[in-house]
Amino acid sequence: MRRFMTIVAAGVLPYAFGSANAAITIDQSQPVNTEAIAIFLQGDLAQSFQQANNNVAGAGIFLGDGHGQGGDVTIALWDKLPNEGGVQLAGDIAAGTPGNWVDVYWSPVSVTPDTTLFLVFTSTDAAMAIAGDMDNPYPRGQVYANPGYQDFSELDYAFRTYYETALASIPAPGALLLAGVGISLISYVRRRAGR
């Protein structure tokens, strides 16, 4: 019985306490940046995506080379497009330079995996462009551009999203219940063995 309880504890406790090593890691990535897809002057620039993990901790885009001089880039996470009643969930600003990635990070936001979310982009340099690809390289989302967030289903910006690994490993409530049962059984066996 004691051996059985040790095996139960070894299998259950890692789920209860997760990993102590946290890191910000790429979740979704569409790195193809063969051409400028849209310039910030067009307005209402967005990319839809579906996160694989249960949180979003940041995002980035690739700025097209040869467009603009550089400026602040704002990347915001939305649950729907702003013109469709969406709510901004997070966002931040970073300095962007044409021909490079610009990434922003925020406190992780809990999301339901595999549901459609939106990244909305603005910049202080309206002449800068977001690079991407016109051959639909990212099947889990698409480009939006121009007033009213017009959709372009065959286009994708070069973008990436991040998640916090420690939060992704937080167990479901059922796993916590199982951990509690395992710990209770260990205590019971130890009390019985001490008699």
pLDDT, tens digit, for every residue of 59-116? Answer: 999 999 999 999 999 999 999 999 999 999 999 999 999 999 999 999 999 999 999 9
Q: How much is the pLDDT for 47?
A: 98
Length of the chain: 195
Collapsing DSSP states into helix, strand and coil, what is residue 158?
Answer: coil
Q: Which two tokens stand for residue 108?
A: 């992780």
Could you tell me the maximum CA-CA distance found in the chain, to the nearest angstrom?
A: 79
* DSSP SS3 for 186: helix
Check pLDDT > 60 for residue 6: no
Q: Rounded to an integer, what distance in angstroms lies between the CA atom of residue 157 and that of residue 137?
A: 9
Q: What's the pLDDT tens digit per position in 141-184?
A: 999 999 999 999 999 999 999 999 988 754 445 444 444 544 45
Give start-end residues of each CATH 2.60.120 domain in the chain. 20-168
H or E stretch covering 4: helix 2-17
Q: How far is CA 59 from CA 14, 21, 189, in A?
A: 29, 21, 49
pLDDT at residue 191 in the model: 58
What does the DSSP 8-state code read for residue 82? G
45 CB burial (10 A radius; 0-12, 13-18, 19+): buried
pLDDT at position 175 = 44
Is residue 135 left, alpha or beta, with left meaning phi > 0 and alpha meaning psi from -120 to 50?
A: alpha
CATH of the domain spanning 20-168: 2.60.120
Amino acid at 107: S
pLDDT for residue 195: 56
CA of 38: how far to CAs of 17, 136, 168, 181, in Å?
Answer: 45, 15, 33, 55
The pLDDT of residue 144 = 98
Task: Round to whole Å and give the CA distance between 42 and 18.
Answer: 45
pLDDT value for 15: 40
Looking at per-residue confidence, does 155 or 187 come out higher?
155
The pTM of the full predicted model, rounded to 2 decimals, is 0.77
What stretch of H or E contains 48?
strand 45-50
* Residue 120, pLDDT above cutoff 80: yes
